């Protein structure tokens, strides 16, 4: 039997300086801690290669190489077919807005786009904004008893006019992994393409865009151990068809440049090489070997084992309380849940719980997390929403236990909110 990959947690935590300040960071779905080596890449570029690409002189050539190295690193990260399939941008929200703009010439009045109620607004709003040109927006419903998207309910929505299916890989509230390859197959069988918001998935599991056969796939690096930046993968032939977003002399064949108006941020793009370098070293330390892609896979195997333990530790505590409603699956069946867990306590204000937790130096969050349609759909209390604990692989079982002990003190055994301060 193959030995499970073991995560070297001491090595992991040594790579994130922000973990040294006494706080427990359980707000990682809002933004993870950043790796030392990604910051090093940023400063290296700014100090040594901070010029415009395209020049004949040596430093400009080095800057161009650094940008290409960034695309190659991202290619390894998601298993794209070629570096030109990587588009950089300031955020997932902006990249999806740009994609919607760049698709306009492909769409006509009466065409249909399917979105899901369970998505972050980033993957609903840009498509909903196309209604002004006659595009029909259909919502794929979410079962509020199972918290799942049922593919059987997608199929009747698909017609010969369906151009795009937009779906999240993981909801940033529900935490369950959607079967993207299966959804893509159904969409393609009906002549539609698929656009995936992977912000809540990419920090937790290895991404393989070719195996899933997705057409567009977008996520943010600031939630994946890097700076506030993002990337979009697109199949090369599809990118060629998109409208240029840059100057008029950037033709349709100028990929990826035509989709990066004003050029990408070179130093932030270069930092992606640090994320991939870290994952490769983590894969080696976890017993992996081979190519960068193979090492990334080994790293995420070890990450998954660690995160499954964290997920079950917190879920088991929440299940033990009779005053808690978990928003989403209450167990991590077959590792289908990532460690982003939202919940409400009966009769309690989620904001008050989070503010009380501040005294314990444990960072959690409350609200609807820019998935307001989903929050309304599943009946989250308006405005204050749910409490969300979002963990990643650098978190530990001891930190989860610190959180649950604090919850016991804050809520009390009778469920009455009482901030007793840090123990």
Is the domain of 28 the same as that of 42?
no
Domain that holds residue 180: 38-276
Is the domain of 47 the same as that of 15?
no
Work out the mean pLDDT of the chain and round it to a whole number. 93
The CATH number of residue 22's host domain is: 3.90.1150.10
Is the domain of 265 the same as that of 389?
no
Q: Where are the beta strands (DSSP E) in 283-412?
A: 324-327, 340-345, 362-363, 365-367, 386-390
Is the domain of 249 the same as that of 347?
no
Is the domain of 210 the same as that of 333?
no
Residue 281 lies in a domain: no
The closest of 158, 147, 148 to 185, measured between CA atoms, is 158
Under 8 Å between Cβ of 35 and 237: no
Q: Where are the beta strands (DSSP E) in 26-135?
A: 86-89, 112-116
Could you read off the pLDDT of 353-367 as tens digits, one per residue? 999 999 999 999 987
Residue 423 lies in a domain: no
Is the domain of 19 the same as that of 45?
no
Q: Which residues pair with 195 in a beta bridge?
A: 166, 216
Neighbours of 248 (CB within 10 A): 6
The closest of 30, 67, 183 to 114, measured between CA atoms, is 183
Cα distances (angstroms) measured from residue 81 to each of 72, 120, 233: 10, 27, 10
pLDDT at 414: 45
Domain boundary among 276, 311, 342: 276
Average pLDDT over residues 110-120: 93
The closest of 336, 379, 396, 333 to 16, measured between CA atoms, is 396
Residue 2 lies in a domain: no
pLDDT at 10 over 70: yes
Residue 413 lies in a domain: no
Is the domain of 22 the same as that of 47?
no
pLDDT at 420 over 50: no
Is the domain of 254 the same as that of 340?
no
Domains of the chain: total? 2
pLDDT at 225 over 80: yes
Task: Quote the distance between the C-alpha of residue 71 and its chain's center.
Answer: 18
Under 8 Å between Cβ of 419 and 356: yes
Strands 340-345 and 324-327: antiparallel
Is the domain of 325 the same as that of 230?
no
Under 8 Å between Cβ of 418 and 399: no
When pLDDT is cut at 50, 70 and 90, the band that residue 119 belongs to is confident
Take residue 198 and report the two structure tokens written for it.
Answer: 């992977």
Distance in angstroms between the alpha carbons of the first and the last residue of the chain: 44
Could you read off the pLDDT of 388-413 as tens digits, one per residue? 999 999 999 999 999 999 999 999 85
Rg (CA), the chain: 22
pLDDT at 413: 56
pTM: 0.94
Residue 218 lies in a domain: yes
Could you read off the pLDDT of 131-157 as tens digits, one per residue? 999 999 999 999 888 888 999 999 999
Is the domain of 248 the same as that of 347?
no
Domain boundary among 212, 245, 276: 276
């Amino acid at each position: 039997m193959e030995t499970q990959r073991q995560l070297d947690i001491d090595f992991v935590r040594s790579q994130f300086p922000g973990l040294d300040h006494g706080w427990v960071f359980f707000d990682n779905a809002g933004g993870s801690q950043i790796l030392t080596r990604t910051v090093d890449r940023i400063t290296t570029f700014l100090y040594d290669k901070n010029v415009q690409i395209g020049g004949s002189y040596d430093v400009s050539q080095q800057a161009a190489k650094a940008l290409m190295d960034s695309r190659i690193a991202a290619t390894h990260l998601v298993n794209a077919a070629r570096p030109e399939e990587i588009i950089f941008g300031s955020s997932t929200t902006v990249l999806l807005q740009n994609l919607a703009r760049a698709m306009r010439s492909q769409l006509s009045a009466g065409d249909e786009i399917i979105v899901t109620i369970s998505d972050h607004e980033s993957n609903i709003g840009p498509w909903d904004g196309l209604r002004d040109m006659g595009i029909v927006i259909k919502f794929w419903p979410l079962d509020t008893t199972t918290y799942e998207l049922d593919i059987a309910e997608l199929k009747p929505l698909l017609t010969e006019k369906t151009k795009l299916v937009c779906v999240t890989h993981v909801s940033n509230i529900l935490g369950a992994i959607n079967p993207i390859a299966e959804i893509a197959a159904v969409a393609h069988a009906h002549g539609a393409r698929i656009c995936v918001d992977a912000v809540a998935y990419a920090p937790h599991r290895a991404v393989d865009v070719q195996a899933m056969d997705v057409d567009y796939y977008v996520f943010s690096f600031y939630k994946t151990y890097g700076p506030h930046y993002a990337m979009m993968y697109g199949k090369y032939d599809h990118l060629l068809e998109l409208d240029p977003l840059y100057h008029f002399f950037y033709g349709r064949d100028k990929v990826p440049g035509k989709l990066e108006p004003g050029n990408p941020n070179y130093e932030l793009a270069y930092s992606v090489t640090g994320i991939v370098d870290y994952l490769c070293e983590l894969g080696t330390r976890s017993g992996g070997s081979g190519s960068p892609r193979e090492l990334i896979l080994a790293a995420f195997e070890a990450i998954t084992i660690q995160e499954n333990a964290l997920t079950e530790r917190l879920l088991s505590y929440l299940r033990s309380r009779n005053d808690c409603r978990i928003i989403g699956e209450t167990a991590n069946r077959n590792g289908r849940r990532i460690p982003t867990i939202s919940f409400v306590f009966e009769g309690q204000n989620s904001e008050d719980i989070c503010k009380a937790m501040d005294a314990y130096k444990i960072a959690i969050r409350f609200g609807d997390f820019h998935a307001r349609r989903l929050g309304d759909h599943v009946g989250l209390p308006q405005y204050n929403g749910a409490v969300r604990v979002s963990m990643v692989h650098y978190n530990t079982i001891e930190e989860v236990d610190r959180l649950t002990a604090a919850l016991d003190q804050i809520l009390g055994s009778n469920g009455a909110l009482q901030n007793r301060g840090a123990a």
